[in-house]
Amino acid sequence: DAGITQSPRHKVTETGTPVTLRCHQTENHRYMYWYRQDPGHGLRLIHYSYGVKDTDKGEVSDGYSVSRSKTEDFLLTLESATSSQTSVYFCAISDLQGVRPDTQYFGPGTRLTVL
C-alpha cells in the first residue's frame, strides 16, 4: 500500500458523535486525498491537501473537515456523524516529484458504520 496506513481500520459509531480518521504516509508525498466508496457510486473525492495546512474541497465535502499539520498525516473529521456517512473511506497519496502528481496510490481503507 505504498507506505500508507489508515486508522482505525474499522469503526462503529452512533449518529451525532464526532469521528476522526487518520491517514499516515511514509513516502513524503505532497498530495494527500480522502475518498469515500459506496456501492454504485465508485470512489468520490471528499477533500484533498497539496501541502501542510493547504487543503481544498472535493466533490462530496459537506459534513466533513480535514486538517494537515504535518506532511505525513492527513486527518478526516466527521463533526457529527450521520447514517449517510456509513461508507468505506480511502486515503490516497500522489508523487512529490510533480512529473505526474496525478498518479494516486491508495491506503488500505477504513470501514465506518454509523448507527
Partner 1 sequence: QKEVEQNSGPLSVPEGAIASLNCTYSDRGSQSFFWYRQYSGKSPELIMSIYSNGDKEDGRFTAQLNKASQYVSLLIRDSQPSDSATYLCAVYNNNDMRFGAGTRLTVKP
Residues lying near partner 1 in the complex (CB under 8 A) are found at 1, 33, 35, 40-45, 48, 50, 56, 58-59, 90, 100, 102-109
Residue 104, beta-bridge partner list: 94
Least spacing, CB of residue 53 vs partner 1, in Å: 17
Least spacing, CB of residue 15 vs partner 1, in Å: 25
- Whichever of 45 and 75 has its CB closer to partner 1, that residue is 45
- Whichever of 63 and 109 has its CB closer to partner 1, that residue is 109
In DSSP notation, 15-36 reads TT--EEEEEEESS--SEEEEEE
C-alpha cell at 95: 508523487
Least spacing, CB of residue 80 vs partner 1, in Å: 27
SS3 39: coil
Identify whether 8 is preceded by a cis peptide bond (ω within 30 of 0): yes
Least spacing, CB of residue 42 vs partner 1, in Å: 4
- Whichever of 79 and 97 has its CB closer to partner 1, that residue is 97
- Report strand pairing: 10-13 vs 110-114: parallel
- Whichever of 26 and 79 has its CB closer to partner 1, that residue is 26
What phi and psi, each to the nearest 5 degrees, are found at residue 82?
-125, 160
